[in-house]
């Protein structure tokens, strides 16, 4: 069950996050900074309107952007790769070289000079990859932290209520929070997996084990050896408190 694993690898050089199992940016109102427009850079996309200068499809206006992002949740086949941009006028100032760099990003999932363009004023590059991996370049990393918090909270909520009987009331789960959220960043740099399918439950305390996967994507969907866990994220349903415990060799 791949859906029971959350994988995160944070590349500090490119300021991007490669992930799987995270509630992604293709969700209505999931962003602090809603894009004004989107440049759709994935082959075969037919939504939006064609922009003759770049050769890409575009989504114009925040309301249309929100509707498009929301459609990616309702129908995963609508997921696309995109770059946000501030205005059509500035988009049309892109040079052929800059457009070719965007094509390179779309196909190689990496940038040549910078993932953030002065003319586009983009805050994100969203790339949908094979096997449900997602790579996002963030101008502001706190945007990803929002995604992580929501994903962990929702996943724990589902787990706590997994065996709820039909007539029972759903238990609420407190929003994920630990005293020092920046403590997570070094873990993300290592490339970690949170395995909810190997969760330990005792007396209303849920421990999600943490494993190092680095950038070895083939490891993500396998069952980990429990002895390889370097720590855990814990949620206590009675106190409604979260905690993080880990130790590197």
Q: What is the pLDDT of residues 39-59, one digit of tens each?
A: 999 877 788 899 999 999 999
Do 147 and 118 sit in the same domain of this protein? Answer: no
Q: Using 50, 70 and 90 to split pLDDT, how confident is the model at 23?
A: low
> Which of 122, 152, 185 delimits the end of a domain?
122
Which of the pair, 203 or 46, is modelled with greater confidence?
Answer: 203
Do 105 and 153 sit in the same domain of this protein? Answer: no
Domain membership of residue 136 (yes or no) is no
Q: What share of the chain in percent tops pLDDT 70?
A: 92
Which of the pair, 215 or 89, is modelled with greater confidence?
Answer: 89
Domain count of the chain? 2
Domain membership of residue 1 (yes or no) is no
Do 232 and 186 sit in the same domain of this protein? Answer: yes
pTM of the full structure: 0.89
Which of the pair, 164 or 136, is modelled with greater confidence?
Answer: 136
**Torsion angles phi and psi, residue 71, rounded to 5:** -65, -25
Specify the pLDDT at position 21.
87
pLDDT in tens, 82-136: 999 999 999 999 999 999 999 999 999 999 999 999 999 999 999 999 888 999 9
Range of the domain at 59: 34-122
Do 182 and 220 sit in the same domain of this protein? Answer: yes
């Amino acid at each position: 069950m791949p859906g029971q694993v959350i994988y995160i690898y944070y590349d500090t050089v490119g300021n991007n996050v490669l992930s799987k199992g995270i509630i992604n940016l293709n969700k209505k109102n999931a962003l602090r900074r809603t894009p004004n427009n989107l440049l759709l850079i994935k082959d075969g996309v037919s939504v939006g309107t064609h922009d003759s200068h770049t050769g890409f499809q575009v989504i114009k206006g925040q309301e249309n952007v929100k509707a498009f992002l929301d459609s990616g949740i309702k129908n995963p086949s609508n997921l696309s790769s995109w770059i946000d941009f501030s205005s059509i006028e500035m988009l049309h100032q892109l040079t052929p070289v800059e457009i070719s760099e965007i094509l390179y990003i779309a196909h190689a999932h990496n940038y040549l000079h910078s993932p953030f363009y002065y003319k586009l004023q983009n805050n994100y590059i969203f790339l949908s990859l094979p096997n449900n991996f997602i790579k996002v370049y963030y101008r502001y990393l706190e945007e990803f932290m929002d995604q992580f918090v929501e994903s962990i909270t929702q996943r724990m909520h589902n787990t706590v209520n997994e065996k709820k009987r039909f007539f029972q009331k759903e238990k609420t789960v407190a929003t994920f929070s630990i005293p020092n959220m920046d403590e997570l960043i070094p873990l993300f740099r290592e490339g970690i997996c949170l395995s909810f399918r190997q969760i330990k439950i005792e007396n209303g305390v849920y421990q999600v084990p943490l494993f190092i996967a680095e950038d070895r994507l083939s490891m993500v969907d396998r069952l980990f050896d429990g002895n390889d866990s370097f720590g855990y994220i814990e949620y206590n349903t009675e106190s409604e408190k979260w905690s993080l415990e880990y130790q590197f060799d």
